[in-house]
A and B are shown apart, each in its own frame.
Chain A
């Protein structure tokens, strides 16, 4: 075994080649992400052409599904398929895959992604469940009934789609949002989050003795940061299994629905007020959409406080993913339980490079594009990019479903420990966030902020 480890170390050390930049999955994902960001930025800033990807409008509740099938629908569908198909096919060719195998398979996966987005645009489903849920469901249904046909398998590439989607998402994570709510926002969003992650890590690995550490950290990040997006980033950073991500996202979505409905009710009953209530919602409800809805249910001040806190918490995704990647790289142990000595060169080698792409996109948007073009322009660009990110993630989650069987999902629940870990972790998150919110926003210790 020690020989194997030494051999692995030998392979790992000093093997960065310039050709990695166009042959390795992580680097290719960065290229794809930045090509989409660049074209999207040019289209918005110059207004010369429309680069928007297809977005399904809500149907149901009195609105027919057929209403959205307009000529522009067809054009956008073709544009989306062309852009993603071209970029991912080139990426696969550079990685040594054959076009004649990948392209038909991509067409098949893309058709499934269209179906997923069509289902998730239904009025009720759109408002409560994320597309990730339906992508998993459609993929699982096919994989566990008729099975995945061989011709489709070359395009089942979860990690590649996730990494490209994350780089695109990086552009929407504006670091300048850190000033949105001053010290109040930073205190509520940032004091609590790492403590909750560390708490859930030790609860999961030491108390519940869950051996699957990437799963524990993925669930912890989803609970304390922002649900699905944080799970995707941290899961990729810790090299979590596909079923880890499936279970984490499913648990997070189910509890987000419950918290979106019940948290405003409980806050109103408790009488803590809109400002504190909104900040508590912003710091504890997983999904950003649910934060906006739950905050609005309490009132205008609560909506503002909730969205401000969440906008700061969303900045954390990249930092948490980076910290997790470094932690997992430097704290790996040998088979005999002793800690490996890891050099800086090896950390660089093992570090998932797409995280650098995520950071670069975030920093460029925050400190280059915002000062030059303004926040409105960046918002416009992100409106375009958001759909490409969503399509990449839908392709990824459909791939996860196609690559997973129900038995794996059942095993992943580890006899209810996963659910217990989430519930205890989320309860701790709520209690701790409330303590910080009370300290900062009750008016007893610090002056109350004025929100417009």
Chain B
């Protein structure tokens, strides 16, 4: 029996292989890396960033909005989105 190979399948495999080839090319040529940073997308810890203290001690940006307001907004938006998800799950077929 002759096996049918669709164009869709060829396109999918072609795209997949092109994707893998791109990643291997990037890795082989060390593209996108920064010499001063001893990490990339892989093994990483935030303390590795030069001068990371400014991100944790609040000196990189002085927020005028109190934390309590930010937490409240965070919780309100999260609650609304959760309820919206449940509503759509129930009514969207």
Cβ of A450 and Cβ of B61 under 8 Å apart? yes
By a CB distance below 8 angstroms, the chain B residues around A126 are: 39-40, 42-43
Q: Cα distance A451–B48 when bound, in Å?
A: 20
Among the listed stretches A97-105, A156-164, A303-311, which one makes contact with chain B, having 4 or more residues with CB under 8 Å of it?
A303-311
B57 and chain A: residue at smallest CB distance: A375
Cβ of A449 and Cβ of B61 under 8 Å apart? yes
User: B38 → chain A, closest Cβ, in Å?
Assistant: 7
User: B92 → chain A, closest Cβ, in Å?
Assistant: 6
Q: Known contacts A125-B42, A129-B41, A190-B77: does B85 contact A293 (CB below 8 Å)?
A: no
By a CB distance below 8 angstroms, the chain B residues around A186 are: 70, 73-74
Interface residues in A235-291 by Cβ distance below 8 A to B read: 253-254, 256-258, 260-261, 264, 287-290
Interface residues in B19-59 by Cβ distance below 8 A to A read: 19-20, 22-23, 26-28, 30-34, 36-49, 52-59
Q: Cα distance A319–B75 when bound, in Å?
A: 10
Cβ of A331 and Cβ of B86 under 8 Å apart? yes
By a CB distance below 8 angstroms, the chain B residues around A297 are: 32, 34
Cβ of A293 and Cβ of B37 under 8 Å apart? yes
* Chain B interface category by residue count: 35 or more
Q: Cα distance A416–B6 when bound, in Å?
A: 14
Q: Known contacts A206-B92, A307-B49, A375-B57: does B27 contact A128 (CB below 8 Å)?
A: yes
Cβ of B70 and Cβ of A178 under 8 Å apart? yes
- A327 interface hit (Cβ, 8 Å): yes
Among the listed stretches A23-31, A78-86, A191-199, which one makes contact with chain B, having 4 or more residues with CB under 8 Å of it?
A191-199
User: B16 → chain A, closest Cβ, in Å?
Assistant: 7
B73 and chain A: residue at smallest CB distance: A186
- B7 interface hit (Cβ, 8 Å): no
The residue from B32, B42, B70, B77 contacting A261, defined by CB atoms under 8 A apart: B32
User: B25 → chain A, closest Cβ, in Å?
Assistant: 10
Contact indicator per residue, chain A 118-130, by CB within 8 Å of chain B (1) or not (0): 0011001111111
Cβ of B84 and Cβ of A198 under 8 Å apart? yes
- B81 interface hit (Cβ, 8 Å): yes
Q: Cα distance A293–B32 when bound, in Å?
A: 8
Cβ of A289 and Cβ of B26 under 8 Å apart? no
By a CB distance below 8 angstroms, the chain B residues around A201 are: 85
Q: Cα distance A121–B36 when bound, in Å?
A: 17
Cβ of B81 and Cβ of A120 under 8 Å apart? no
Cβ of A292 and Cβ of B49 under 8 Å apart? yes
Contact indicator per residue, chain A 340-380, by CB within 8 Å of chain B (1) or not (0): 00000000000000000000000000000000000110110
Cβ of B65 and Cβ of A292 under 8 Å apart? no
By a CB distance below 8 angstroms, the chain A residues around B92 are: 202, 206
Cβ of A180 and Cβ of B32 under 8 Å apart? no
The residue from B34, B38, B60, B89 contacting A331, defined by CB atoms under 8 A apart: B89
User: B91 → chain A, closest Cβ, in Å?
Assistant: 11
Cβ of A323 and Cβ of B61 under 8 Å apart? no
B70 and chain A: residue at smallest CB distance: A178
- A5 interface hit (Cβ, 8 Å): no
- A452 interface hit (Cβ, 8 Å): yes
Cβ of A452 and Cβ of B74 under 8 Å apart? no
Cβ of A257 and Cβ of B27 under 8 Å apart? yes
Contact indicator per residue, chain A 160-183, by CB within 8 Å of chain B (1) or not (0): 000000000000001111111111
Cβ of A386 and Cβ of B23 under 8 Å apart? no
Cβ of B74 and Cβ of A290 under 8 Å apart? no
Q: Cα distance A137–B22 when bound, in Å?
A: 20
Q: Known contacts A178-B74, A254-B19, A260-B41: does B46 contact A127 (CB below 8 Å)?
A: no
B16 and chain A: residue at smallest CB distance: A419
Cβ of B34 and Cβ of A180 under 8 Å apart? no
A172 and chain B: residue at smallest CB distance: B46
Q: Cα distance A195–B88 when bound, in Å?
A: 12
Cβ of A452 and Cβ of B41 under 8 Å apart? no
- A412 interface hit (Cβ, 8 Å): no
By a CB distance below 8 angstroms, the chain B residues around A287 are: 41-42, 44
By a CB distance below 8 angstroms, the chain A residues around B30 are: 124, 127
- A434 interface hit (Cβ, 8 Å): no
9 additional contacts (CB under 8 A) given A120-B43, A198-B84, A330-B86: A128-B27, A194-B81, A194-B85, A206-B93, A257-B26, A261-B26, A287-B44, A307-B49, A376-B53
Q: List 30 A-B contacts (CB under 8 A).
A: A121-B43, A126-B40, A128-B23, A129-B41, A129-B42, A131-B43, A177-B56, A178-B67, A178-B74, A179-B63, A181-B63, A183-B73, A185-B61, A186-B70, A194-B77, A198-B85, A202-B92, A254-B23, A261-B31, A290-B40, A293-B34, A293-B41, A297-B34, A303-B49, A307-B49, A327-B82, A375-B56, A379-B52, A383-B47, A451-B60
Per CB-CB distance, the 5 closest pairs between chain A and chain B, nearest first, are: A289-B44, A127-B40, A182-B63, A261-B32, A290-B41
